[in-house]
Structure 1
Amino acid sequence: MRCVSWLLFGTSILVLGLAVQGAPGQCPNLCHCHGDLQHVICDSVGLKKIPRVSEVTRLLNLQRNSLGSIPTGSFTDSRGLISLHMQQCQLREIGSQAFKGLKKLIYLYLSNNQIGSLKPGAFDDLTELTYLYLDGNQISDLTKGVFSPMINLFILQLDDNRLRELRPGTFTGAKDLRWLHMSGNELTTLQPGSLDEVENLAIFHLERNRLSTYPIAAMSKLRVVEELKLGKNPMKTIPDIAFQSFGRYMEKLHLDNMGLEKFSDGAFTGVTAIKTLNLDNNKLKFLPKSLNLSSIAITNLTLTNNPWGCTCQLAPLRRWMESSRNRPDAVCASPPQQKGKQVKDSTALSGCKVKSKKNKKGRPNSQQ
């Protein structure tokens, strides 16, 4: 991850009310400038237009001004910008070539506006952009290739928009994207091929969407996901080999508050690195055979508010609890005589035998 430690910077000019537009080299009217105009701070000063700042400016903070739009050419004098802050500026759309000339820009903050669309070419020239924040807007569609100029994009924040689907080509060009946040949208499907260009995602957040089926065709293209959040999607089942393509890397998996009823037996095939698994507030009775708790180093397992069936099918969980410091709260819902008891205390599980395994000569090993 690229770290650029510019403190706050400044430069140049602006039109405000009856004020006369200044010349490059001046601090814009009502703004505060620091560091020989490398930091220009115009937070909450009532601006109606984007001020012109010169090439020496590295950071421009325009937060909480009623700007409404970004006219083409707004930043033609600002070619040295590294960080641009435009949160809560009542922006409605990002037009073509809105950021023309900002070839050094690394941080772009557009959170909490009213942006409904990103026009083709909206991000032209942003070849160095690494962090893009578009959360808290009203974006319902992503044009094919809209992120293609961003060959260095590392983090993309799209939480709390109105996206309904992902289509192939959405992330063309953004091959270095590692963190993708899409929680709180209206996603019902991730089309096959929609994640092909971002196979190196490490953090993928999809909670609070409308996914009713696990998008295995799209997800199977991912290779190194370390953290996956799917909570609060209305999925009833997780299919076989759901996480296999990145199972060697996945350390955190959140499947809480989904109404999840079951896992296919092979759902966790290939999952070997998981440390955190959140299954709270579902309708699960059993865990799948492929979740081999005894062979993974899981340290944070949460199971509350599920109707666990305390029969021998749940015995591997009980044995793991007995050998682990992590003894999550899990209450039996059945059979009737075990209802209300903690899984770790259920007498119905204490006498379950481990299935014998055959050794290489075909002879059964002694039971444990």
Structure 2
Amino acid sequence: MHLVSAAAFLLVLGLSSPVESGKCPRVCSCDSTKLSVTCVGKNLTEIPPTIDEITVKLDLRNNNLQVLSRRAFILMPYLTHLNLQRCNINKVKEGAFRALGRLVSLNLAYNKIDILYQESFDGLSSLKELHLDHNRVEEIQPGAFAQLGFLNMLALTHNQLVYIPNMAFQGLNNIKWLRLSHNSLNNLAPEAFAGLFTLSRLSLDHNELQFFPTEAMTRLPEVTRLDMSHNPITYLGEESVSMAKLTRLYLDHMSIQDLSDLALSRAPFLSHLDLSHNQLRYLEPLSGPKELASLNLTGNPVYCNCYMRPLREWAGVGGVKLLGTCTGPPHLSDEPLQAVVPLDLRCRSRGEMLKDEFEKDDEEDTGSLPPTAKPKQKVKCPDNCDCDIESQHATCEGRGHTKVPRGFPAKTQLLDLRSNHFHYLPTNSFPGTSQVVSLHLEFCKIHQIESGAFRGMKKLFYLYLSDNDLTSLDPGAFAGAPELTYLHLEGNRLVQFPGSALALLPSLFVLHLEQNAISKLEPTGLLSSATPNLRELYLTNNTINAIAKGALDSAFLGTLHLDSNQLTEMPTHALSDAPNLEEIKLSQNSIRWVGPNAFKPISQSLKRLYMDQMGMEKMSRDALAGLGPGLRALTVRGNQLEELPDLSPLTGLEVVDLQDNPLMCDCPLLPLRRWMENVSLEVIATCGNPPEIRGQKVRDVHVFTSCPESGSAPDEKVATPSGPPKVKKTKTSLSKTPGVKARPAKPKAKLLKPTKKKPQRKPGPPKTTKNKTL
């Protein structure tokens, strides 16, 4: 017995002693019981090579590692907690964390990381917490988080982000809390948060958002808590907040002067709303939230007169607790809003009330401006501009400049020159701005950019030239800005795709060309040669009526928006060499017929397909051939479709919209009805014919009970031609449902009112035809 005990003791000693003495680095302390190693503040320049492989917790804070090399932790496969705070890390090389498949917590806070590369976190398949706060992150490359499928919390606070691109957080399938506070965000792409289906808490406070990012927020179905405080938002319009499960919304310390009573109409479960420290003088009762318990108006200049009475009565009836006090009139000054009786909220007369308020405003305007309102003179800054050394931002927005100001601080990273009157940008317009990452030139009436205008802007990453008067671009317009990645040219008057000018931008990743006058896409000088790395191309609202074969060839293109143009046929031939296209929008083009194999060239990559409001009358039964489990979204809303192709191969659908189509609820539609019954998605589709069930949901009608088991009618081959719909002047459509009389063609013409050129045209031949004199 004693020999066994001694042997066991020696075995334990043999396992633990290497950690404690044999393999414990000289400058570190090791705990064999907790399997932890601590090397804090030892000025280490590399990972100690003698750390025992069974170590579970490694603390390397306050060292000087600078670069994490590839497979830096390959000898520590059992690590679960790794702390690398304050290690002067400026780069994490691809695969640095490979082999750390058990790591659940990684702390990289307070370092100097500026770019999150595509495979920076490769190998961290079990990671649950990632701290990247207090770095210098200004770029998130696509797929940076693709390997972090189990991550619950991501902290990116106190960095230098100015823009979140589409799909930036792709791969975070279990994320609960995303922290983006204290950055310089002024814009979020519509799909910035796409794929974050489990996110419940989002922190966007202390940024520079000027508008509520409604479109981006609609992609967050599970968010219950949203913090948008300390952003310079001034107004919230109707349906600004469209978040079905939101319960707590923080909009405090902003610049809100007005808020529509319908701003929160699509946030039904909101219970706590913080509007403190804004510029609200009064507020209408809020429509939408049915469970609102608290409304905080503290720090607002609320004037308690008759205009506040509806809100006070609404709060009393709904049990909403109002926080805040009255700033006037004098007899109610400093009175808590909750204590004010509605009868006390009255106006003597509108004229007297406005006089009192204007006098109060005049007093405030003349006597209350703090002496520190102007920028400090010691900061190097052009006249009539503001420069902030600490945040490395400079702005001359809306100051009436006719020439680009010069003399900004050398370390400026965000330069805002929007809403001036430059008209043209000459060569070398921005000397001394080599550190600028984001440049805003919107609404500057620019009609010409000379070659080399941006010369010297070696770090320029985001360029906003939206809403100007550009009709063309000089081939050398962007010379000298090789790192430009996000380019906004929407809202100009460009008549051609600016391929030659883009050829100088090898890093271009996202290109916005919406609302221009581009009518054709030619193969010469386009994607494959000019912008080989382009991932997202937005051409919405141009006048495109033709796309030549090869015009869209690109090995990298993933998102293509062609909606609201003048296409009359599917651009299938133009997509023959775009093997990675994941999303295409074709909505609001006049494409009436979608033929067989329309998406065959991109069937292996396509995930999202939008074809709304095209006047589409017919889809071939093979229109979606090749599309299978990979397709996630399909919308054909607001067309003239009577039938649909078989959707059963699309087993991966997460979003489907078939609404506002006059579907023929007859036997050929039986496969759709059966598909609807077998999927967990909520699919809304309504009958357009026969007339007696028009408007009823396909799922609810009983006309399919008399159909043959196969779902085919005797004349189904006639009902489903392979070619586009023919124009027929005389025809009658018979219902297969017993007891339903033949329908004359006239009501069908009413359904086709939007198609003005051919009012008698009908999507596809009828089930049976008879000649009838009209």
Instruction: Give the TM-score, by structure 1 length.
Output: 0.85
Q: Distance in 1 between matches of 2:611 and 2:411?
A: 48
Q: Secondary structure at the match of 1:33?
A: strand
Match of 1:41 among 386, 395, 398: 395
1:112 aligns with 2:455: no
In the other structure, the counterpart of 2:736 is: none
Please state how far the C-alpha of 1:204 moved relative to its aligned partner.
1.0
Q: More displaced, 207-216 or 295-304?
A: 295-304
Aligned to 2:570: 214
**Equivalent position to 2:530, from 161, 168, 173:** 173
Structure-2 change in CA distance of 1:161 and 1:36 (3 Å): same
Structure-2 separation of matches of 1:242 and 1:263? 10
Give the SS at the match of 1:145: helix
Instruction: Please tell me whether residue 247 in structure 1 is matched to residue 603 in structure 2.
Output: yes
Highest CA radius of gyration, 1 or 2? 2
- Of 72, 89, 109, 2:444 maps to 89
Matched, 1:283 2:637: no
Residue 594 of structure 2 corresponds to residue 238 of structure 1: yes
Higher helix share: 2
1:306 maps onto 2:665 in alignment: no
- 1:103 shift after superposition: 2.4
| Aligned with residue 270 of structure 1, among 612, 623, 626 | 626
Q: For residue 637 of structure 2, what is the amino acid of its counterpart? A: D
Amino acid of the structure 2 residue aligned with 1:228: I
Structure-2 residue corresponding to 1:227: 583
TM-superposed deviation, 1:185: 0.5
1:16 — aligned with what?
Answer: none
Match of 1:365 in 2: none
Alpha-carbon distance in structure 2 between the residues aligned to 1:353 and 1:120: 64
Q: Shift of the alpha carbon at 1:247?
A: 2.1
User: Which residue identity lines up with residue 267 of structure 1 in the other structure?
Assistant: A
Cα distance, 1:84–1:336 mapped onto 2, change above 3 Å:
closer
Structure 1, residues 166-190: CA drift from partner, whole Å, max 9, x if none?
1112232311111111101000011
Per-residue deviation at 1:318? 0.4
| Count of matched residue pairs | 337
Which of 113, 137, 141 does residue 492 from structure 2 map onto? 137
Structure 2 counterparts to residues 149-228 of structure 1, below 5 A: 149-168=504-523, 169-171=525-527, 172-196=529-553, 198-228=554-584
User: Secondary structure of 2:470's match?
Assistant: coil
Alignment of 1:44-59 (within 5 A): 44-52=398-406, 53=408, 55-59=410-414
Give the CA deviation at 1:302.
1.4
CA distance in 2, matches of 1:143, 1:297: 37
Given that 2:491 and 2:513 are in contact with CA atoms closer than 8 Å, whether structure 1 keeps it comes out as: yes
Residues 111 and 136 in structure 1, CA contact (< 8 A), matched pair in contact too: yes
Match of 2:417 among 62, 76, 93: 62
After superposition, the Cα gap between the structure-2 partners of 1:329 and 1:31, relative to the gap in structure 1 and judged at 3 Å, is: same
Secondary structure (helix, strand or coil) at the match of 1:318 reads helix
Deviation at 1:162, TM superposition (A): 0.8
Distance 1:161 1:54 in 2: 35
Query: Does the C-alpha gap of structure 1 residues 340 and 109 become closer, same or farther in structure 2, counting only changes over 3 Å?
Result: closer
Residue in 2 that maps onto 1:30: 384
Q: Does 1:5 align with 2:361?
A: no
CA distance in structure 1 between the partners assigned to 2:388 and 2:708 by the alignment: 71
Distance in 2 (CA, whole Å) between partners of 1:240 and 1:200 is 26
Q: Which runs of 5+ in 2 are unaligned?
A: 1-117, 119-138, 141-159, 163-182, 185-378, 713-774
Find the counterpart in structure 2 of residue 80 from structure 1. 435
Does 254-263 or 94-103 show the bigger shift? 94-103
Letter in 2 for 1:5: L
Are the equivalent residues in 2 in contact too, given 1:27–1:37 (CA < 8 A)? no
TM-score, with length taken from structure 2: 0.42
Matches of 1:275 and 1:66 in 2, distance apart?
A: 45
Find the aligned partners of 1:274 and 1:40 in 2 and give their Cα distance: 44
- Distance in 2 (CA, whole Å) between partners of 1:152 and 1:118 is 18
Question: Which whole-Å CA distance do the structure 2 matches of 1:337 and 1:347 have between them?
Answer: 12
Name whichever of 202-211 and 97-106 sits farther off.
97-106
Code of the residue aligned with 1:245 in structure 2: it is: P
Quote the Cα distance in structure 1 between the aligned partners of 2:461 and 2:710: 56
* Aligned partners of 2:550 and 2:576 also within 8 Å: no
Distance (Å, rounded) in 1 between the aligned partners of 2:456 and 2:648: 54
Contact 2:389–2:409 (CA under 8 A) maintained in structure 1: no
Unaligned runs of at least 5 residues, structure 1:
9-24, 357-368
Q: Name the % identity.
A: 35
Cα deviation 1:316-354 (Å, max 9, x = unaligned): 210122123334332222345544432112322234424
**Contact 1:87 / 1:110 at 8 angstroms: preserved in 2?**
yes
- Aligned amino acid, residue 48 of structure 1: T
Equivalent residues of 2:387, 2:409 under 8 A apart: no
Amino acid at match of 2:161: S
